[in-house]
Amino acid sequence: MKGTVLIAGIGLIGGSLALTIKEAHPHATVIGFDIKESERKLAKALGVVDEESDSFIELAARADLIILAVPVKQTEILIEELVQNADKLKKNVIVTDTGSTKARIMQKGKKLNDLEISFIGGHPMAGSHKSGVAAAKKILFENAFYLLTPDEQTSTEELNTLKEWLKGTKAKMIEVTPEEHDQLTGVISHFPHVIASSLVHQARHFDQQNPLVSRLAAGGFRDITRIASSNPEMWKDVSLHNKETLIQLLEVWQKEMHKFAELLKDENGEGLYEYFAAAKTFRDQLPSSSKGAIPAFYDLYVDVPDYPGVISEITGYLAEERISITNIRIMETREDVYGVLVISFQNDHDRMKAKKCIQKHTNYDIFLA
């Protein structure tokens, strides 16, 4: 396809979308807007966008497709700017977003649709533990779910045009209502962030009474609460946008915890077994290779002896085979015992390649999370 695509917000998501569009539509021009000059300049230097500017409306006036790849609160602001400058936009321009909430965004977007400017809500359900345009990559959305929330005013032609622009993502496009979207993401993404944060708060409270809590939490507890380290400003806005769903889920959760408390009070061993067994069965049936709403963690656990240079030895083997790592840490090391070296990777392909590499050079025990 030919035309001009504006990416507003040239971070991980916006930058990755720009790369997929440039590859799938080499005759298109991709222009970028971001409030951070450093990100705009870097995006241009890396070839993520062809042009960049700090004037959103000037760029929007040139665009055939406008992608709002900014946090949900900023998305509302940019939609309002487009509404106020609707007369400057191209007649057949399509506007979409990448936000993780949809009901409130679609309410704002309806103002554009009422002005005969097509707004189609979107949410690519993929991400990374890195941020910024430097982390952008073409394969970020591959095999991920990409939820679209067209409204009753969206024509089939407009929807198909948007899908064609986005075909380079190689994502699985699914159409849902804004309400369905917010309930789905509430259950599998937003609510888990609330629970992870509450677990950390509970540990923080008990740590004030016994400092051993934070020392012992360095292992598995730290892993299962990783998502609590996400951007608090972003999650404040997401929570407010999806408050009805979260309140409903909190009420259900409280009932679930009351049910579990009753099982404990009654010393109901059979009930406790069924509780844990049912959770295990459902969890074990979840897809292990599909991408979901929360970025996956691709960790490799290596039992290593405690001697000087063991970490550089392992990373040296990986460097020889040009395997990139995103993080590395030791869970436990004491004299004369094995420690656990935790190595994180960008994807499962790199993790499995690393496992074979380490097995080839050592006899250390290696296991996945």
Kindly state whether residue 169 falls inside one of the protein's structural domains.
yes
* CATH number of the domain encompassing residue 35: 3.40.50.720
Q: Are strands 118-124 and 145-149 parallel, antiparallel or unpaired?
A: antiparallel
Looking at this protein, which amino acid is placed at residue 13?
I
**Domain boundary, last residue among 151, 176, 201:** 176
| Domain carrying residue 364 | 298-368
Q: What are the backbone dihedrals phi and psi of residue 149, each rounded to the nearest 5 degrees, phi first? A: -125, 70
Confidence of residue 337 (pLDDT cuts 50, 70, 90): very low
Domain-embedded: residue 38: yes
Mean pLDDT of all residues in 289-317: 76
Residue 334: per-residue pLDDT:
40
Query: Residue 308: pLDDT band by 50, 70, 90 thresholds?
Result: confident
Q: What confidence tens digit (pLDDT) does each residue in 28-38 have?
A: 999 999 999 99
Task: Indicate the residue among 238, 261, 284 that finishes a domain.
Answer: 284
Domain presence at residue 354: yes
* Domain co-membership, 142 together with 36: yes
Lookup: tokens for 329: 């840490």
Residue tagged 């700090």 (tokens): 54
pLDDT at 294: 62
- Residues 50 and 187 reside in one and the same domain: no
pLDDT at residue 70 tops 70: yes
Q: Which of 213-217, 292-296, 343-347 has the lowest mean pLDDT?
A: 292-296
Residue 109 is assigned to a structural domain of this protein: yes
Please say whether the beta carbons of 275 and 263 come within 8 A: yes
Output the CA torsion sign for 221, 314, 355, 129.
positive
Mean pLDDT of 270-298: 81
For residues 126 and 5, the answer to whether their CB atoms sit within 8 Å is no
Interstrand relation of 298-305 and 118-124 (parallel, antiparallel or unpaired):
unpaired
pLDDT grade for 293, boundaries at 50, 70 and 90: low
**Residue 296: is its pLDDT beyond 80?**
no
Tell me what pLDDT residue 339 has. 62
Residues 165 and 208 in one domain: no
Spell out the residues 6+ positions from residue 206 whose beta carbon is closer than 8 angstroms to its own.
213
Bridge partners of residue 147, in order along the sequence: 123, 174
Which is nearest to 298 in space by CA: 348, 341, 353?
A: 348
CB 118 within 8 Å of CB 11? no
Q: What is the DSSP string of 15-81?
A: HHHHHHHHHH-TTEEEEEE-S-HHHHHHHHHTTS-SEEES-HHHHHTT-SEEEE-S-HHHHHHHHHH
- Does residue 83 belong to any structural domain of this protein? yes
Phi and psi torsions of 106, nearest 5°: -70, -30
- Chain centroid to CA 329: 23
- Whether residue 159 sits in one domain with residue 94: yes
19 and 132 in a common domain: yes
Mean pLDDT of 201-224: 83
The CATH number linked to 353 is: 3.30.2130.10
210 lies in some domain: yes
| Cβ within 8 Å of residue 240, ≥6 positions away | none
How would residue 336 be classed by pLDDT, with cut points 50, 70 and 90? very low
Nearest 5°: the CA angle 162, 168, 172 is: 75
Q: How far apart are CA 261 and CA 256, in angstroms?
A: 9
Tell me the pLDDT of the chain averaged across its residues.
Answer: 89
Q: Where is pLDDT greater, at 219 or 29?
A: 29
Please give the average per-residue pLDDT across 56-79, as a whole number. Answer: 96
Give mean pLDDT, residues 104-132. Answer: 90
Domain count, the chain: 3
Q: Are residues 200 and 221 in the same domain?
A: yes
Say if residue 90 is in the same domain as residue 222: no
pLDDT in the model for residue 63: 97
Strand partners, 338: 305
- Are 16 and 160 in the same domain? yes
Q: What is the CATH number of the domain that holds 193?
A: 1.10.3660.10
Which letter does DSSP use for residue 295 in this model?
P
Token output for 161? 């045009």
Tell me which of 306 and 71 has the higher pLDDT: 71
Q: Establish if 264 belongs to a structural domain.
A: yes
User: With b meaning 16 or more CB within 10 Å and e meaning fewer, what string describes 62-82?
Assistant: bbbbbbbbbbbbbbbebbeeb
Which residue, of 176, 205, 240, is where some domain finishes? 176
Question: Is a pLDDT exceeding 60 seen at residue 197?
Answer: yes
- Let me know whether 232 and 249 are in one domain: yes
Residues 207 and 143 in one domain: no
pLDDT of residue 56: 97
User: Per-residue pLDDT tens for 132-179?
Assistant: 898 888 888 988 899 999 999 999 999 999 999 999 999 999 999 999
Give yes or no: residues 187 and 172 share one domain.
no
Q: How many residues does the chain have?
A: 369
Q: Per-residue DSSP letters for 97-120? A: E--S--HHHHHHHHHHHHTT-EEE
Please report whether residue 292 resides in a domain.
Answer: no
Confidence of residue 288 (pLDDT cuts 50, 70, 90): low
Lowest mean pLDDT among 16-20, 168-172, 181-185, 228-232: 228-232
φ/ψ of 77, rounded to 5, equals -65, -45
**pLDDT tops 80 at residue 24:** yes
CA dist., res. 95 & res. 335, Å (int): 60
Which among 367, 275, 356 is positioned nearest to 318, based on CA atoms? Answer: 356
Question: How many CB atoms lie under 10 A from the CB of residue 103?
Answer: 19
Residues 190, 304 share a domain: no
State pLDDT tens for residues 73-99. Answer: 999 999 999 999 999 999 999 999 999
Quote the tokens at residue 367: 């296991």
User: How many Å from the N-terminal Cα to the C-terminal Cα in the chain?
Assistant: 43
